[in-house]
A and B are shown apart, each in its own frame.
Chain A
Amino acid sequence: MHARRPSDLVVVGLALACLFVMPVRAAAETVLRTRLNADIRSTDPGTNRDANTDGVVAHLVEGLVAFREDTSVGPMLAESWSVSNEGKTYTFRLRQGVKFHNGATMTAEDVVWSLKRWLDPATQWRCLSEFGPSGIARIEKIEAADPQTVAVTLDQPTALFLPTLARPDCGQTAVIHRDSVGPDGKWIAPIGTGPFKLGEWKRGQHIDVIRFDGYASRSEPRSGYAGAKTAEVDRVRFNVIPDSSAAKAGLLSGSLDVISALGVPDLDDLKSRPEVQISVTPALGLTGILFQTRDPLLKDVRIRRAIALCLDTAEIADVVMQGTARANNSALPIGSPFYGEVQTHGYTQNIAEAKKLLVEAGYRGQPIKMIANKRYGFVFDSAVLVQAMAQGLGVNIEIEVLDWATQLDRYNRGDYQAMAFVYSARLDASLSFEMLMGPKATQPRKIWDNPEAQEMLRQSMMTDDTAKRQALFDEMHRRFIKDVPMIVLFNGAELAALRKNVKGYAGWLYPQPRFWGVSVQ
């Protein structure tokens, strides 16, 4: 057996090396890989959707207006607008030269068609009820005055028209091309105006969005869902990975670039890794302890107040969210433009006072059942801490863990004594109150039934005057603290973990990631 010549080995070695190197070289495409904890529901904006769906769809479509970073409403497809007719008619001037993904240019016709489609009950648009009998106003007329102008007339003035159009959970009232649906009216795929277009969607595995080269970006800097949106990568792949430990492992091993809705328990571990950077932004969601004020035991405000006074809310927020959230007892999130000095006054821990209240109320140690769930770790952890702190007071709280669907059911029926709950983000201060308030007789899911405050809420929705609304919200806050229908604990934070080579990512108040303006080096 003759000895192998070294050059033979070198050749073989090189050949093998090429096999490994070549596939990597062939694709020069830049891809950003991120994670969804569940597959999206559909690509039809604002119809069959959930939070994940909204997040992905926001890369594909745009509406007339969009939310800025500070939750104010800014222009997107509309260049500008004017309000006339005692606040009932909105006239939008459209931007010029905006292209759809299929190359067609956007005109007023497309806007009218899209609006009409959303208002058609068959589409099942989430915000349809806002324009119905129990909503903010009825839309009486939509017309295209000329190819660049659309006028919408309501039946009454409201401060919430533009915020409703901008709602991400309603697909931002997207302007889409009519070829997005087939001749039979069935949904095909979104042909929108966004910086990305729909790529491959492998159900249960991943969904891709691909850079749209014809995107006409706005000039102002990126702000929330408004401003400039340039796609800096060729493709974003949203991988469906329900298991957060698996996602974390993926990030660490380099198969993922971004994890956008990072869970708090993973924070510690990832913070210490050199290849990972963490992004923390205050969130608009609300975590708190709800009380059923109709419950025979808890209808006594003294007991509710005693529990509120025994809590060290700052500690709860700090421990549960590991320093990424601040305590907040107000119904308005800290990020809201209407959150001011008044809203910082909540419940100050006062054990002596709490004990006094319990004695006055004649509490004899009856157990209080508090429902919690394991789906949201911070909700459960908050419940545990509240229970522990109440224990110190002599209040006997029993935690009952239900799965999320069951808890939602009990919430909607008002069938509970107490529950630890989390509300999704509301982008307007009135909506933040509205989600909590209402007459319990007709809306059993509402927490706070106070007719005077209700009237104040109604007024806050009608007027556009910032000073007036602030005064109303301040007064509502004072009553909210006095009545203790619930204890708001904190607003949480949006945490994201990114590999060091990801540049340009920024979280914002709304809990969905934005991948325009983000590049992978």
Chain B
Amino acid sequence: MLGYLARRLAMTVPTLLLVAIGVFTLVRLIPGDPVQVMLGDAADPAQIAQMRAQLGLDQPIPLQFVHWLARLLTGDFGHSITDNLAVLPLILERFQVSAVIVLVAVGLAACVAVPAGLIAAWRQNSALDLAVVGSATLLLSIPSFWLGLLLLLLFGLKLKWLPVIGYVPFSENFWQAMVFMLLPIATLTMIEIGVLTRMARAASIEVLRLEYVTHARAKGVPEWLVLGRHVLPNAFAPTWTLIGLVLGHLLGGIAVIETVFTLPGLGRLLVDSIFARDYPVVQGCLLFTAVIYVVVNLIVDLCYPLFDPRVTVA
């Protein structure tokens, strides 16, 4: 097991290295200059050149890459060009916000989606099934930011039940923080319910069809036991894999939700820094996201055998 873990980890290294090179190159290919953006239209070339020299942006690109990589390996992600903050602590702080939203939303969605998908699969092709699938499909067809805006309009403005702007970190005040997070989490949850219900249903259908289920039924095991003891745990496994994939990709889509609800999350940090051409932050964010994705997939892979004893890790 440990050997497998070590090997899997080792395999991620070349991937991550490629990601680092890709990120660095991509960012440098983008036209525009962080210094120009900072100094604005009133800056003259002398000022721009002076600042670029100060930031080390005038060195040859391969050299800049080597410096960046070297510092990366010591855990130093560099400093933001716009406000000189250390990148890694900044990313971690922002990541907390995004992680809370994503994890809670996916968790809540899974609680609703897995049973719903199971029931739909159990009564496949019935009116109930149609209703469940129809609703799920509808939910995932709505653009997330549109849904967010509509919810904000409804609950924030028209009904005035929830605050419209603001953010309080959990470390400060848990309940207050939850109030601000309620709408964004709700938005994401609704969409993910759509996505996960369909996946859970597909997985459940697969399992229901399997021999040991028909066998159990033939033995006369009560239906609810069949569902609860045999189908649910086994349907959960592939859903779990897909949850892993979804989690990784959610980090990208969450940028729009963070923009609508003005939350200081990782997605927005990345988008803002791309527009500001803040190279160190962009590189740091992209690299960090890639690492998270790889780690999540690794965890998912390793947990798989917990759900399906037929699968061995090696």
Contacts and interface: CB of A to CB of B under 8 A. Distances in A.
Given A239-B166, A411-B41, A42 B262 contact: no
Contacts of B152: 246, 249
A253 B157 CA distance: 6
Interface residues of B, number: 47
B79 to A, nearest CB: 12
B60 interface: no
Interface in B21-36: 30-34, 36
A247 B51 CA distance: 33
A246 B38 contact: no
A189 B22 CA distance: 39
A371 interface: no
Given A241-B262, A253-B164, A256-B165, A403 B42 contact: no
Given A42-B84, A126-B39, A408-B40, 14 more contacts: A42-B83, A48-B83, A124-B50, A129-B47, A203-B83, A205-B167, A205-B264, A243-B259, A249-B164, A405-B37, A406-B32, A408-B37, A409-B33, A435-B41
Nearest to B40: A424
Interface stretch (B120-128, B227-235, B269-277): B269-277
A250 interface: yes
A235 B82 CA distance: 27
A39 to B, nearest CB: 7
B92 to A, nearest CB: 13
B46 A134 contact: yes
B36 to A, nearest CB: 5
Contacts of A255: 163-166
B85 interface: yes
B45 to A, nearest CB: 7
B160 interface: yes
A486 to B, nearest CB: 13
A345 interface: no
A235 B153 CA distance: 29
B266 to A, nearest CB: 12
B211 interface: no
A408 B37 CA distance: 7
Interface in A241-286: 241-243, 245-247, 249-250, 252-253, 255-256
B45 A443 contact: yes
Contacts of A250: 164-166
B256 to A, nearest CB: 11
B54 interface: yes
B42 A246 contact: no
A423 B54 CA distance: 26
A247 B165 contact: yes
Interface string B142-183: 000000010011001100100111110000000000000000
Given A250-B164, A403-B275, A443-B45, A242 B259 contact: yes
27 contacts: A41-B38, A50-B38, A50-B40, A126-B39, A129-B47, A205-B167, A239-B166, A241-B165, A241-B262, A242-B259, A243-B262, A245-B260, A249-B152, A250-B164, A255-B165, A403-B275, A404-B37, A404-B275, A405-B30, A405-B32, A405-B36, A405-B276, A408-B36, A408-B37, A409-B31, A443-B44, A443-B45
Contacts of B94: 204
Interface of B: 30-34, 36-42, 44-48, 50-51, 54, 82-85, 90, 94, 149, 152-153, 156-157, 160, 163-167, 259-262, 264, 268, 272, 275-277
Contacts of A403: 32, 275
A344 interface: no
A203 B262 contact: no
Q: What is the interface of chain B mostly: helix, strand, loop, or mixed?
A: helix
A249 to B, nearest CB: 4
Contacts of B84: 42, 48
Contacts of B157: 249, 252-253
Given A129-B46, A249-B164, A405-B277, A39 B83 contact: yes
A391 interface: no
Contacts of B83: 39, 41-42, 48, 203
Interface string A466-502: 0000000000000000000000000000000000000
A457 to B, nearest CB: 15
Contact of A124 (B51, B164, B262, B268): B51
A169 interface: yes
Q: Pick the most buried of B31, B54, B264: most chain A CB atoms within 10 A of its CB.
A: B31
B89 to A, nearest CB: 10
A322 interface: no
